[in-house]
Chains A and B, each alone.
Chain A
Amino acid sequence: MMDVVTLIWLYILGLVRWLLHEAPAQVINFIMSLPTLIPELLKWLWDFIWFNFKPLLQIIVIPGLAFILLFAMIAVWFERKFLARAMLRIGPYYCGKRSGWLQVIADFLKLFFKEFVVPDDAEKALFLAAPVLLPTIPALAITLIPFDSNWVLFDAGGLSLPVFLAIAGLSPVIPIFAGWAANNKYTIIGSFRTAYLYVSGEIPLVICAAASALLAGSLDLVDIVEAQRPIWFAIPQFIGFLIFFIGLILEAERTPFDVPTAETELVIGWRTEFSGILFGFTMMAEYVSFLGWTLLFIVLYLGGYLGPSLFGVPLYDHIFWMLLKLAVIVVIIVLIRTVYPRLRLDQTLRLGWNYLMPLSILNLLMTLILKWGLMV
């Protein structure tokens, strides 16, 4: 068997020979062929963009990366500025003049370039993977949302609602892993709280979504929106509408249900050990998950992209309506944060199992009767 050192020397020698004898010719050839290569490349790129214009636009702009990032930034900015007013403060003031709009970007840059600490006792791989997976999973679910009748990034057809719920249902697993991987007492309590909370919140949510699908007669989100042309489901499904609204706040872990990350109790729950950009990702994940559930809420109950009818004349369907509804819901949910304290875990669970669950089943039964009445 050959000596390892000899082997390495052979490799180095081979490399040197290649550099001296063959590399110059290859580089020169490449440079000579550039004038013909560049137009070809550009043409290929142009064709690619031309034929894939719409999917690319969807991936990059709506509902893609730009939209999610922009939503997170605007939501954070609005929340900080708005809550500051409620607290008799001014809020971010110096970055980006009086409105403080640059502060979000400045904070992101700060988090990005900050050293992050991985605890000695942590499960390193899981600990590092969790913050990346956290925003990704709800972002995947957002691809299923119809922003217009033919503006769906990932068209799962008649399965889009179950697929959405399945993907979104995966997201609470990550905080549990993250809390466990960080190996800290606060994170472990926080991750178990997450597990309890999601079980009590998600089941009523799924039952309500099922009732909505039943009323529309389809599991396709586009069909559900189209079925709301006569009347938005918020009215015939009023109980479901309220339950879904509460469940959405619960799923997004926002006040009054921010039990797993309760700052005054558990430092910041399962996020305690994350620092630097890892923490930034967990913060973003909160807003992405919030965005996903709010969009589903709008699709199921508020007529998605359908315009409101003005004096009996329905307005044009447009993405604009979707964004307007999103803005209204976000403002309402941020308002809630200023006026309500946090519920305890047992109170949240009681709300979920004792009230939301039976009411959502009642809602399902009522929908069945309504549907049966319509068919007869």
Chain B
Amino acid sequence: MSEPEIKPEVMRISWGPQHPMSGQTRILIDVDGEVVRRIIADIGFTHRGIEKILENRTFIQGIVPIERMVMADTANIALGYVQAVEEALGIEVPERAKWIRSLICEMGRINSHLYAFGLQVECTGYFPAVFLWTTVDREVLLDLFEKLTGARWSYSFFIPGGVRADLPEGFRDEVRRAVRYLRRRFQDYWDAMVENPLFEMRNRGVGVLSREDAIRLGATGPVLRGSGVDMDVRKDEPYAAYGDLDFKVITEKEGDCLARLKVRFHEIEQSLNIMEQIADEIPGGPVRTKVPLFPRSKPGVEALSRVETARGELGVHIFTDGGLKPYRVKINSPTLRNMYVFERLAELGRVLVADLPVILYSIDPWYLDCDR
């Protein structure tokens, strides 16, 4: 990355990858005392060429590398790819498989939001108590994943034509039990953290993104909804079983870090509701249709699938040339769009050095998602 010039009155700090809170990316900040004048995200720092890798894999092999984009939220990412493949190859999915997909996606969303919630709370300077609480509570979901898919992370469970396996026996009761437990724990989080006056002081009015700016800069996911825009692919363009499920799209008006945190928090509650609904109402039937191991595509087909991941809207665009492999896969990742918003925030409002980690983690960055 070519570094932009520095004005004489500011000091440029390379914030990361050695910084405790930066994660595996590099962000350059120009600081004038305590005030951050400019943020330059080093996009491409963790580039792994996932799009290129997908061109060299068959359609089903591609599921594994694309899941590596966001490890905390593999279900939603894989669903985006699998749906695009299904559209390109013209594969039908049975109803029950769609419901199981929704169930896993919501569990993945909770998993990812828990991680984001814990990190944002830790950034405000809590001793990492809450981060570890969320990590412990995540285990409930990981155990469910293990029972259902055989893996706790990166389960590669979705395949073109359905899901790999049906729900195990007694799984629906376990989902209900997990939902009850998590509801109780989230009440604790709300009481201890969100309603803590000092926590509110650190988050309210920090990194404000107005509704107009959010739309203009192309924010997505909880960042967009935190600024009061009612937009969720699950509602606008229902995929999987979301058309039949009853849930609300959460929005907050303020557009600050607290609003984004609250959006995530209430989205977790909605996801728990969805999980319960699926456990109660899931239809019977087969979970996959027969698809050959190496499906051959028709030449010149384009397919686009939009999925609401935990970080926002993911678009997967597939071109085929009639071979066993996709000709090109273009991924429009949510973190890239939000990182662009994050860079602009220093121009839109006053950002202090102390607020930088809070704002960064309020957009819930996943750098591998950003750089692919």
Bound form: Cα–Cα A263–B124 in Å: 10
Within residues 252 to 278 of chain A, which ones have a CB less than 8 A from any CB in chain B?
A: 255-256, 258-259, 262-267
Given A189-B31, A264-B21, the answer on whether A87 and B202 have CB atoms closer than 8 Å is no
Q: Which of B11, B19, B199 contacts A341 (CB 8 A)?
A: B199
- State whether A89 touches B132 (Cβ < 8 A): yes
Question: Does residue B322 face the partner (Cβ distance < 8 Å to A)?
Answer: no
- State whether A342 touches B129 (Cβ < 8 A): no
Question: Does residue A344 face the partner (Cβ distance < 8 Å to B)?
Answer: yes
- State whether B125 touches A256 (Cβ < 8 A): yes
- State whether B127 touches A189 (Cβ < 8 A): no
**A125 shortest CB reach to chain B, Å:** 25
Q: Which of A83, A264, A337 contacts B122 (CB 8 A)?
A: A264
Q: Total contacts A to B, CB within 8 angstroms?
A: 86
Nearest A-chain residue to B128, judged by Cβ: A87
Q: Which of B125, B136, B192, B353 contacts A342 (CB 8 A)?
A: B125
Q: Which residues of A contact B354 (CB under 8 A)?
A: 259, 262, 265, 342, 344-345
Q: Which of A87, A264, A343 contacts B20 (CB 8 A)?
A: A264
Q: Which of A89, A258, A259, A342 contacts B124 (CB 8 A)?
A: A342
- State whether A266 touches B128 (Cβ < 8 A): no
Mark A68-101 against chain B: 1 for CB-CB distance below 8 A, else 0: 0000000000000001001111000000000000
Given A263-B20, A344-B354, A345-B354, the answer on whether A338 and B129 have CB atoms closer than 8 Å is yes
Question: Does residue A47 face the partner (Cβ distance < 8 Å to B)?
Answer: no
Q: Which of B13, B31, B125, B199 contacts A264 (CB 8 A)?
A: B125
Bound form: Cα–Cα A193–B354 in Å: 11
Question: Does residue A347 face the partner (Cβ distance < 8 Å to B)?
Answer: yes
Given A86-B129, A337-B127, A339-B192, the answer on whether A264 and B198 have CB atoms closer than 8 Å is no
**A150 shortest CB reach to chain B, Å:** 41
Q: Which residues of A contact B13 (CB under 8 A)?
A: 185-186
Mark B318-342 against chain A: 1 for CB-CB distance below 8 A, else 0: 0000000000000000000000000
**A261 shortest CB reach to chain B, Å:** 11
Bound form: Cα–Cα A186–B34 in Å: 11
Question: Does residue A340 face the partner (Cβ distance < 8 Å to B)?
Answer: yes
Question: Does residue A346 face the partner (Cβ distance < 8 Å to B)?
Answer: yes
- State whether A345 touches B34 (Cβ < 8 A): yes
Interface size on B, residues (CB 8 A): 33
Mark A181-209 against chain B: 1 for CB-CB distance below 8 A, else 0: 00001100100110000000000000000
**B75 shortest CB reach to chain A, Å:** 26
How large, as a class, is the contact surface on chain A? Answer: 20 to 34
Given A86-B129, A262-B354, A265-B354, the answer on whether A340 and B196 have CB atoms closer than 8 Å is yes
- State whether A344 touches B192 (Cβ < 8 A): no
**B321 shortest CB reach to chain A, Å:** 48
Q: Which residues of B contact A341 (CB under 8 A)?
A: 121, 124-126, 196, 198-199, 202
- State whether B125 touches A87 (Cβ < 8 A): no
Question: Does residue B348 face the partner (Cβ distance < 8 Å to A)?
Answer: no
Bound form: Cα–Cα A63–B133 in Å: 40
**B181 shortest CB reach to chain A, Å:** 14
Bound form: Cα–Cα A89–B19 in Å: 25
Given A255-B127, A337-B127, A338-B127, the answer on whether A265 and B356 have CB atoms closer than 8 Å is yes
Given A264-B21, A264-B357, A339-B196, the answer on whether A347 and B201 have CB atoms closer than 8 Å is yes
Within residues 121 to 150 of chain B, which ones have a CB less than 8 A from any CB in chain A?
A: 121-129, 132-133, 136
- State whether A83 touches B129 (Cβ < 8 A): yes
**B231 shortest CB reach to chain A, Å:** 31
Residue in B123, B201, B353 whose Cβ sees the most chain A Cβ within 10 Å: B353
Question: Does residue B355 face the partner (Cβ distance < 8 Å to A)?
Answer: yes
Q: Which residues of B contact A344 (CB under 8 A)?
A: 201-202, 352, 354-355
Given A87-B129, A185-B13, A264-B123, the answer on whether A346 and B192 have CB atoms closer than 8 Å is no
- State whether B133 touches A87 (Cβ < 8 A): yes
- State whether A343 touches B198 (Cβ < 8 A): yes
Q: Which residues of B contact A265 (CB under 8 A)?
A: 21, 125, 353-354, 356-357
Q: Which residues of A contact B126 (CB under 8 A)?
A: 340-342
Bound form: Cα–Cα A86–B353 in Å: 28
Nearest B-chain residue to A341, judged by Cβ: B124
Nearest A-chain residue to B11, judged by Cβ: A185
Bound form: Cα–Cα A337–B355 in Å: 20
Q: Which residues of B contact A87 (CB under 8 A)?
A: 127-129, 132-133
Q: Which residues of A contact B33 (CB under 8 A)?
A: 192
Q: Which residues of A contact B192 (CB under 8 A)?
A: 339
Nearest A-chain residue to B358, judged by Cβ: A264
Q: Which residues of A contact B128 (CB under 8 A)?
A: 87
Bound form: Cα–Cα A262–B20 in Å: 11
Q: Which residues of B contact A346 (CB under 8 A)?
A: 34, 352
Residue in A265, A266, A339, A345 whose Cβ sees the most chain B Cβ within 10 Å: A265
Bound form: Cα–Cα A88–B192 in Å: 15
Given A341-B199, A343-B201, the answer on whether A255 and B125 have CB atoms closer than 8 Å is yes
Q: Which residues of A contact B122 (CB under 8 A)?
A: 264
Q: Which residues of A contact B355 (CB under 8 A)?
A: 344
For this complex, 23 residue pairs linking A to B, each with C-beta atoms less than 8 Å apart, are: A87-B127, A89-B132, A189-B31, A258-B125, A262-B125, A264-B20, A264-B21, A264-B125, A264-B357, A265-B356, A338-B127, A341-B124, A342-B202, A343-B198, A343-B201, A343-B202, A344-B352, A344-B355, A345-B352, A345-B354, A346-B352, A347-B201, A347-B202
Given contacts A83-B129, A337-B127, 20 further A-B contacts (CB under 8 A): A86-B129, A87-B129, A88-B132, A189-B31, A189-B34, A262-B354, A265-B353, A265-B356, A265-B357, A338-B129, A340-B126, A341-B121, A341-B125, A342-B125, A342-B354, A344-B202, A344-B352, A344-B354, A345-B352, A345-B354
Report B's interface with A, CB cutoff 8 A. 11, 13, 18-21, 31, 33-34, 121-129, 132-133, 136, 192, 196, 198-199, 201-202, 352-357
Report A's interface with B, CB cutoff 8 A. 83, 86-89, 185-186, 189, 192-193, 255-256, 258-259, 262-267, 337-347
